Amino acid sequence: MKVKQRGFTLVEVMVAITIILIALLAILETMTTLAFSHMEVKNKVVAVNLAQSVDTLIESMGDVVVDYSGSVITFHDKDYSTSDLNKWLPVVLAMDGDTYYKEIHIPIQGVTYTVKAYARASTVKSLQPSERFNTTRDLITVLYVISWKGVGGAQQQMSFVRRYYKRGS
């Protein structure tokens, strides 16, 4: 009489282990993708905060008055291409004695962000309700460019634009 054995065959065990490994690899890949996405979003949030900080610095210099339109907005306007910056003037962001810095390097949590600002002036008709319609004012447009090395060492960049009315214009 043959005795019936209990348990799993080697083939069944190997198939079960393979299925478990495939599921674990899929979970690990998803977690890795989420971690990289989180780092990219964190870097972009830091870039926005840096742009707002530099914007506040420029606003406090007293040369310009903030347009009533509000805060720094993400830059998507084709007219202000960062590849054609020769039409823009660099803005001095810091001074140390006789040395003027047109870019600032700011290390935050292992990432070094480079902040640059460029400006361009133009004359526009005022749309302020308190002014006469034919009044013109000097409008200063400031372009902020924040760059850093992203995940995998690729160069990342965000640009923002802000418009100011020149004080006294």
Q: Are 119 and 138 in contact (CB under 8 A)?
A: no
Q: What is the pTM of this model?
A: 0.64
pLDDT one-digit tens code per residue, 11-52: 999 999 999 999 999 999 999 999 988 988 998 899 888 888
- 67 — pLDDT class (breaks 50, 70, 90): very low
DSSP 10: H
Of the pLDDT bands very low, low, confident and very high (cuts 50, 70, 90), residue 166 is low
Beta carbons of 113 and 50 less than 8 angstroms apart: yes
Calculate the CA 69 to chain-centre distance.
21
pLDDT at 60: 72
- What residues contact residue 39 under an 8 Å CB cut-off, 6+ apart? 150, 151
The runs of H, that is alpha helices, within 3-106 are: 10-60
What does the DSSP assignment read for 58-75? HHHTSSEEE-TT-S-EE-
